[in-house]
Structure 1
């Protein structure tokens, strides 16, 4: 089978497509013929050895896949060859066949295509865990979403609206602003490119405050980090919840006096660890996502598709932070 491989530490240009041996399903495993693999920011980090998980080389990037069950290992129940499946292997998805623990796989509805399926779990499951489990977002509250035009950002806009919140989306361009408005954002802040000096940081804080209103944002969803963190935190409500999702703009240094003044919480969101520690709660969240998807309240936005041979280009686009929605690598027919 063909696989995109990281054989040395580096950027997307170091990735190569090679033929490797087909895997065989072991106990408790599904062998999945991959049809599509979504691209996410961890794919940028993992090939540079900057992600918290460092698989041994050679490995394939690709953290979420959709495909068809080709073989079933001993001890697996509830699955048949030919079943359509979505899963989050964490890495290894950008190859023609991948092994998935059966308990971590979910059945893809027949009326959904593989590209949509591949683009669902990582972003939306992260976000529903963030907003519901960690953020306690309630109907009528105000949600501020940073990086709102990316995969997790758009998921936060949609899920925030589905949960009854007023959603303020922050993005870096008018093109991205249009995308978040189409996703249901009630208001939009367009910010400049960091780094910010003191005056620019204050101006952004003022823009956030104006958009969220005088009571502040009850929940802030931050998948960006860097110099965007402090201005957003200055716009938080009394007893607000600041959700830490990721750091493509850098790991911020938070002035803790702001948390005292607003009596607010800063809460980390590590969906992968949550799913491993509490798989039943994660399954309940995913079931809720499928119901919202069926009702048309959420919809993965696949904005670019690449063949396996050009998967490195997709990862490079993600690294440049130019992506609106989700990119998907098409792998099988």
Structure 2
């Protein structure tokens, strides 16, 4: 009979007629526990409505079966990443916990108490010290979507440089010669590499990218909305803009509509990521598709290998991107 209050593993042990350590080993699928004993333990646990304590499991096994994901609330992609990461980890028997902040301020202390087996960091800055701090404390860590300047940190990313190059080719092949760009933050690998790839192809084609047609900002709608007016307001204006992500492009699309500009007749747009909104019939944004599902699977695989004891050099898995020409890049 279970005691009043929370049911414990000792209550399950009494009901099943085994020791408490046998209950713990049976519930974590120890192969040395016989199937008949496991069956008795499971039946007793179900009858008592026993829910194992993750903290107690961590103390007894050294593992929590929990992974934390550090999300930057300023990154518009975090809702997309979290749901898919939850499902991917659940398929491996891990729970996902979130540590949210604007940037990475004050998150180290939330991750150093032994409550997680590893950490996935999304939207990291190139100079971020968080991955190295976590590794120094013995916490396995992997970056997803972006990489840091430290080659010893595992990362799963898209081929951002090739994506920027593909965006430039898309505009050039459509016949554009007056081209501008709304780039992302220069202190992120995504911002820096998408810009580098875009500039390289324009240079190879002999097409200038004047500074007056270039703006930098966050991966946010406000950047696109504000910057479109700035780069199209001069005596000569670009006929096309590369936007460093779809959110910037959608902001620019809204700004064009507000200003009475037609897309793509007056100004063409190309985005990056291929978020769901990009394919909506009222948007039909030409963009570069990032394989988010494959990227997240790679991140989980890298992290679980580290949790399992892998101590080799840092690894970077780069996933190919795909141009998605819809209607907004065309030249009339």
Range class of TM-score, shorter chain: 0.3 to 0.5
Normalised to the residue count of structure 2, the TM-score between the two structures is: 0.35
Normalised to the residue count of structure 1, the TM-score between the two structures is: 0.35
Larger Rg: 2
Flag the structure with more relative contact order, 1 or 2, with Cα contacts below 8 A and sequence separation at least 6. 1
